[in-house]
């Protein structure tokens, strides 16, 4: 008989609960976002993940209000966009306004990259097509400015996204870093398992969140032999196996879907993997190598360790 996983909360360093299964909203139109967030909340999700740059914060906020679930029962994450690094307060205020809320449960730096805000566009480019990165600025400075927001209650927890272990250590080793991030959110799935990062974060009680846990749009992971065979063994789909592996290794998972049946399945249909099977998926990169599906290609040092 299939042993289904029962969704649990983790406790952040700030003692607040974070549901292990969150609902991802990247690449969803306003209408899809509104409908899918509403359905997700009806289906039991209490953790919603959005970002300024997804351009759907307003729809997320409206769906949360219309769900009639009290605000304090929803764990809401949004992210500081890259053109706000030198003035994160402005980024936070915009997100609070878009979402129509008084506070954010978790505020994340979206990328360790500051983009030039002077042109008023989200993705400023140089003449050669590369991103116009503010080379004199550092993500460490941005983080230090964000630390201040914790004091006035507008954010309840702080973290970073798209951070390599190397960048995380740079941040933590800076003497002006007073607050260890509550969360690191990265692309994580069996072909990008980030074992070292998980081990390091666990030693500091930093919760790790997996975005694109299914391998993003048209995921080739669904068709990997080992995943398909495991799905047959547990009598579930490949998607359920991928997400079940994410909860088995104690990451928060943030599957995105705008499809009703999948929204429900991604919450109710996860199984408790046997350790032997979890360990098998842990080692898939030995056969297939690593694969990153989401790379905005800002600069070489965002994802490369050297």
Coil, helix or strand at residue 181: coil
Q: How far is CA 182 from CA 17, 26, 60, 167, 259, in A?
A: 11, 22, 23, 15, 31
β partners of residue 210: 186, 253
217 lines the binding site for ligand A2P (CB under 6 A)? yes
DSSP for 101-149, written as a single string: -S-BSEEEES-S-PBP-TTS-SS-B-TTSSB-B-TT--HHHHHHHHHGG
Q: How far is the CB of 81 from ligand A2P (least distance, A)?
A: 19
Coil, helix or strand at residue 219: coil
Q: Please write down the long-range contacts of 132-137, taking CB distance under 8 Å and 24 or more positions apart.
A: 133/298, 133/299, 134/85, 134/86, 137/85, 137/86
Q: Which is nearer to ligand A2P, 33 or 82 (CB)?
A: 33
Range 17-56, binding ligand A2P (CB under 6 A): 24
Range 168-187, binding ligand A2P (CB under 6 A): none
Binding residues for substrate: 110
Q: Which is nearer to ligand A2P, 173 or 218 (CB)?
A: 218
Q: How far is the CB of 142 from ligand A2P (least distance, A)?
A: 25
Q: How far is CA 58 from CA 51, 55, 99, 149, in A?
A: 11, 8, 5, 21
| Segment contacting ligand A2P by CB under 6 A, of 46-54, 92-100, 146-154, 259-267 | 259-267
Q: How far is the CB of 168 from ligand A2P (least distance, A)?
A: 22
Name which position in 46, 85, 111, 256 contacts ligand A2P (CB under 6 A).
Answer: 256
63 lines the binding site for ligand A2P (CB under 6 A)? no
215 lines the binding site for ligand A2P (CB under 6 A)? yes
Name the nearest CA neighbour of 272 among 242, 238, 235, 247.
247
Q: How far is the CB of 254 from ligand A2P (least distance, A)?
A: 7
* 54 has catalytic annotation: yes
258 lines the binding site for ligand A2P (CB under 6 A)? yes
Q: How far is the CB of 70 from ligand A2P (least distance, A)?
A: 27
Which two three-digit tokens encode residue 38? 């509403």
214 lines the binding site for ligand A2P (CB under 6 A)? yes
Q: Please, what's the largest Cα pairwise distance for the chain? A: 60
257 lines the binding site for ligand A2P (CB under 6 A)? yes
Give the footprint of ligand A2P on this chain (CB under 6 A): 24, 212-217, 237, 239, 255-259, 262, 265-266
| Catalytically annotated residues | 54
């Amino acid at each position: 008989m299939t042993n289904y996983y029962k969704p649990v909360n983790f406790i952040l360093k700030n003692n607040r609960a974070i549901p292990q299964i969150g609902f991802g909203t990247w690449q969803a139109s306003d209408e899809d976002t509104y409908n899918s967030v509403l359905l997700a909340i009806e289906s039991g999700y209490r953790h919603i993940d959005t970002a300024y740059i997804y351009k759907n914060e307003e729809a997320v906020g409206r769906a949360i209000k219309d769900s009639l679930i009290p605000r304090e029962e929803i764990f809401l994450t949004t992210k500081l966009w890259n053109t706000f690094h030198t003035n994160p307060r402005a980024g936070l205020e915009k997100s609070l306004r878009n979402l129509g809320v008084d506070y954010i449960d978790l505020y994340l730096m979206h990328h360790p990259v500051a983009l030039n805000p002077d042109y008023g566009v989200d993705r400023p480019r140089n003449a050669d097509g590369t991103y116009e990165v503010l080379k004199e600025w550092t993500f460490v400075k941005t983080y230090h400015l964000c630390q201040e927001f914790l004091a006035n209650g507008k954010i309840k927890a702080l973290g970073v996204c798209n951070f390599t272990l190397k960048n995380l250590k740079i941040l933590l080793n800076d003497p002006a870093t007073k607050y260890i991030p509550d969360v690191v959110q990265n692309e994580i799935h069996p072909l990008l398992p980030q074992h070292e990062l998980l081990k390091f974060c666990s030693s500091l009680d930093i919760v790790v969140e997996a975005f694109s846990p299914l391998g993003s749009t048209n995921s080739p992971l669904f068709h990997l032999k080992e995943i398909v065979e495991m799905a047959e063994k547990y009598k579930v789909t490949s998607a359920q196996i991928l997400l079940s592996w994410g909860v088995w290794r104690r990451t928060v998972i943030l599957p995105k879907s705008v499809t009703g049946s999948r929204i429900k399945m991604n919450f109710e249909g996860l199984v408790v993997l046997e350790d032997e099977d979890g360990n098998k998926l842990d080692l898939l990169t030995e056969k297939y190598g690593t694969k990153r599906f989401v790379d905005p290609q800002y600069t070489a040092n965002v994802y490369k360790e050297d």
